[in-house]
Structure 1
Amino acid sequence: MTQVLVAANSAVARAGLSALLSEAGLEVVGSVGLRDLAGQLAGLHPDVLLLFVESREEPGALVGEWLSEGASLLSTPIVMLTEDPSPSGVAEALRLGVRGVLPTRAIASEIVAAVTAAAAGLVPLHPDTLETLLPALPVNDPILPPAPLDAALTPRESEVLTMLAEGLSNKAIAQRLHLSEHTVKFHISSLFAKLQVSSRTEAVTLGARRGLILL
């Protein structure tokens, strides 16, 4: 049975979360305020720490404060319940080792699922938390696989790729090159294999990036 330590400054929050976990079949080994957390954690060794963070406290700053004091909290998986955190606060908490972050409006089944997942070594994130994090995440161009060294296109394949970039259908390409549609499909399959792509859009994008065609 998963053993959980509940920590919150609010006695009401501690009681509610403890009852919720017990009803779900989890073992609540303790219920403590944040000031007493480090000592209780060292003595109880729970599988998961369920931490309720009040609105005036930033999760990242809270964890950073514990670390600066030398507390060994992060040896235990932590699931945080926090109200309207800033993107930077959530990102910092996760960077410092918190396993999961949920909003305080999460329903009972979501909280139980997150605790169970954290105990199993997973990183449970609520959809609302992911939405909060999006503004803090860097935006990178998609990474396309590099073409192998022996993937030089034949002159005919280069012609077909250029026509794909023009948006021509297989039939239109066949008419322009005086080929059968079957032959055009063969050339498309071949250049897809050489470029390691699975769609016309990917082929055109990678071809342009590698200077195989001009857009």
Structure 2
Amino acid sequence: MAVKVLIVEDNPVARSFLCRVVRESFSDTIVITEAGDLESARRNIALQSGSTAVAPSDPFKLILVDLELPDGNGMELLGELARYPATKIVTTLYSDDDHLFPALQCGADGYLLKEDRFEVLVEELQKIVRGQPPLSPAIARRLLTHFRHGPTGGGDSGFTPLPSSGFQSSRPMPLGKGAPLDHERLTPRESEVLTYLSKGFTIKEIASLMGIKWFTVNDHIKSIYKKLNVSSRAEAAVLASKQGLV
């Protein structure tokens, strides 16, 4: 089955560029839907303005969202897609804190700058396959500086995460001594994915071994992280080993 991708971008040249980036990034069969404004995006997702999208039977697996659109702000769409099971990546020209952090709070799983070279964007987007957040190099440096020194050089970052909405982009609580263990809720498929993760296999290798799409493996990993209350494969592997899950 083809992987469905939605690109929300009002500039036709930028939209065509992003289409090429997506097709170059993944070996799967890709079906791309293009939307030039919020209304078109909502229509393609079967989403009414102001409502919250839920998962259809065949959802988009990847959504690229521009922040400035003719009929509104892309952050509106991110908020409406809080429960939608897609990897949501902001693609924008804005690299400032006033756009970056609100976008992450609204549920963005990555943040890419359209001004980056084609090869850089492809490399960053491919990180999804490895279970890493796609971040333009300038954004990664900005995040590091922000949380290390704070926006004005102090120790307080000024960034307050939103309460968890059930979507994986909201960072789970750190794994601690009293962290709850819900391994009994893992499905057989999730347990199999966790076993492979613990052995160091990449998402693409797991997909090949299990005979499923890597986007499906990515969905399983998100569910595992949420159920085990962890935020990385290292934490998941350690917890699984301690509890005898693998």
TM-score, normalized by length of structure 2?
Answer: 0.45
1:192 aligned partner: none
Shift of the alpha carbon at 1:39? Answer: 2.2
| Residue 48 of structure 1, aligned match among 40, 56, 62 | 62
Distance, in Å, in 1 between the alignment partners of 2:101 and 2:14 is 24
Q: Aligned pair in 2 of structure 1 residues 73, 62: CA closer, same or farther (>3 Å)?
A: farther
Q: Which deviations, in whole Å up to 9, do the C-alpha atoms of 1:90-138 show, x marking residues without a partner?
A: 0121122101111112222332333333366432222200233356434
- Whether the 8 Å CA contact 2:65–2:74 is kept in 1: the answer is no
Q: Is 1:18 aligned to residue 34 of structure 2?
A: no
- Whether the 8 Å CA contact 1:7–1:31 is kept in 2: the answer is yes
1:32 aligned partner: 35
SS in 2 for 1:106: coil
Q: Aligned pair in 2 of structure 1 residues 132, 74: CA closer, same or farther (>3 Å)?
A: farther
SS in 2 for 1:128: helix
Q: Is 1:124 aligned to residue 138 of structure 2?
A: no
Shift of the alpha carbon at 1:55? Answer: 9.6
Q: Aligned pair in 2 of structure 1 residues 116, 122: CA closer, same or farther (>3 Å)?
A: same
Greater fraction of residues in helix:
1
Distance, in Å, in 2 between the alignment partners of 1:79 and 1:97 is 9
Q: Aligned pair in 2 of structure 1 residues 67, 48: CA closer, same or farther (>3 Å)?
A: closer
- Whether the 8 Å CA contact 1:7–1:37 is kept in 2: the answer is yes
Distance, in Å, in 2 between the alignment partners of 1:123 and 1:11 is 26
- Whether the 8 Å CA contact 1:5–1:50 is kept in 2: the answer is yes
- Whether the 8 Å CA contact 1:8–1:14 is kept in 2: the answer is yes
**RMSD value, Cα:** 3.4
- Whether the 8 Å CA contact 1:38–1:73 is kept in 2: the answer is no
TM-score, normalized by length of structure 1?
Answer: 0.50
Give the unaligned 5+ runs of structure 1.
Answer: 141-215
- Whether the 8 Å CA contact 1:3–1:46 is kept in 2: the answer is yes
Q: Aligned pair in 2 of structure 1 residues 106, 99: CA closer, same or farther (>3 Å)?
A: same
- Whether the 8 Å CA contact 2:66–2:74 is kept in 1: the answer is no
Q: Percent identity?
A: 20
Give the unaligned 5+ runs of structure 2.
Answer: 47-55, 157-246
Given residue 126 of structure 2, which amino acid in structure 1 is its aligned partner? T
SS in 2 for 1:46: coil
1:174 aligned partner: none
Distance, in Å, in 1 between the alignment partners of 2:114 and 2:43 is 25
Q: Aligned pair in 2 of structure 1 residues 99, 125: CA closer, same or farther (>3 Å)?
A: same
Given residue 11 of structure 1, which amino acid in structure 2 is its aligned partner? P
How many residue pairs were aligned? 136
